């Protein structure tokens, strides 16, 4: 006796639904993993630049008092912070916690250097940052932490929109490619020699009273 259609069609539909549901779960898991990875990378960037900016170095006798390095670190810190803001505006999973974490790290690094600020018994040392300036960074950390908790309270009951996932995923991939690719490219880049010039005569590195080195 043949099996009525009513008995086997729902089984086929149910099996297809299970496959579709499993696929959605895998896609959602990949999406969240990528977003959290990007947030972690952004936090590491913020922590690195905070550490470099708040680390008191004796810059007495250095070229421009080490100001060029400070400007680069400030620029890097600003770009990393902007990346976190973009992640928050796009509502990437974990972005709010990344913002809160960056505030905590800023406060923690500042507290560490406040407690371990080097002594200047002779009074001849010139440090790249003062204790007062470190305190200013800590205030920024408090502001970031406070705004993070405020944003979390505002957004905790908001249901994510699945239709925004493709845009969020593309944005997360682009952020990850930038904040992972640029440091890797910089790390693998061969450093320029002292007093380097290109063939067109453009100066590429610091040169004070030394013979020029022509590089390609």
Which residue is associated with the tokens 């993070």? 148
79 within some domain: yes
Instruction: Give the chain's radius of gyration (CA, Å).
Output: 26
- The structure tokens 């929109």 sit at 161
Q: What is the domain range of residue 31?
A: 17-191
> What pTM did the predictor assign?
0.75
Task: Determine, yes or no, domain membership for 214.
Answer: no
Q: CA-to-CA distance for 14 and 8, rounded, in angstroms? A: 10
Q: What is the number of structural domains in the chain?
A: 1
Q: Identify whether 35 is part of a domain.
A: yes
Residue 204 in any domain: the answer is no
Is residue 91 within 8 Å of residue 160, measured between CB atoms? yes
In a domain, 29, yes or no: yes
Digit-coded pLDDT (tens) for 26-79 = 878 898 999 999 999 999 999 999 999 999 887 665 544 455 678 888 999 999
- In-domain check, residue 208: no
- The one-digit pLDDT tens for each residue of the chain (216 residues) are 554 554 444 544 555 545 546 667 787 889 899 999 999 999 999 999 999 999 988 766 554 445 567 888 899 999 999 999 999 999 999 999 999 999 999 999 999 999 998 887 666 777 888 899 999 999 999 999 999 999 888 887 777 777 888 899 999 999 999 999 988 887 787 766 667 777 666 666 666 556 666 766
Tell which residue, 20, 39, 32, 30, has the closest CA to residue 160. Answer: 32
Please state, in angstroms and as integers, the Cα–Cα distance from residue 121 to each residue in 124, 125, 126, 130, following that order: 8, 9, 12, 15
Question: In whole angstroms, what is the distance from residue 58 CA to residue 8 CA?
Answer: 80
54 within domain boundaries = yes
Q: Give the angle subtended at the CA of 62 by the CAs of 56 and 65, to the nearest 5°.
A: 60
Is residue 90 within 8 A of residue 49, CB to CB? The reply is no
Phi/psi at 197 (5° precision): -135, 150
Tokens of 143: 């502001």
Token digits of residue 88: 């928050």
Q: Is residue 9 part of a domain?
A: no
């Amino acid at each position: 006796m043949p099996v009525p259609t009513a008995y086997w069609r729902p089984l086929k539909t149910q099996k297809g639904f299970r496959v579709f549901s499993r696929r959605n779960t895998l896609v959602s898991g990949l999406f969240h993993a990528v977003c959290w990875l990007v947030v972690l990378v952004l936090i590491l960037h913020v922590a690195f630049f905070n550490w470099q900016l708040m680390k008191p170095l004796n810059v007495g006798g250095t070229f421009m008092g080490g100001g060029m390095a400070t400007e680069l670190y400030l620029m890097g810190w600003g770009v990393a912070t902007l990346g976190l803001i973009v992640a928050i505006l796009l509502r990437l999973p974990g972005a709010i916690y990344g913002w809160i974490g960056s505030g905590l790290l800023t406060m923690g690094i500042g507290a560490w250097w406040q407690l371990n600020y080097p002594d200047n018994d002779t009074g001849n040392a010139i440090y790249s940052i003062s204790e007062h300036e470190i305190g200013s960074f800590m205030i920024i950390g408090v502001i970031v932490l406070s705004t993070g908790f405020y944003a979390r309270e505002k957004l905790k009951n908001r249901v994510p929109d699945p239709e925004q996932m493709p845009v969020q995923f593309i944005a997360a991939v682009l952020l990850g490619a930038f904040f992972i690719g640029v440091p890797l490219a910089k790390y693998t880049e061969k450093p320029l020699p002292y007093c380097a010039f290109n063939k067109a005569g453009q100066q590429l590195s610091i040169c004070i009273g030394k013979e020029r080195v022509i590089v390609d």
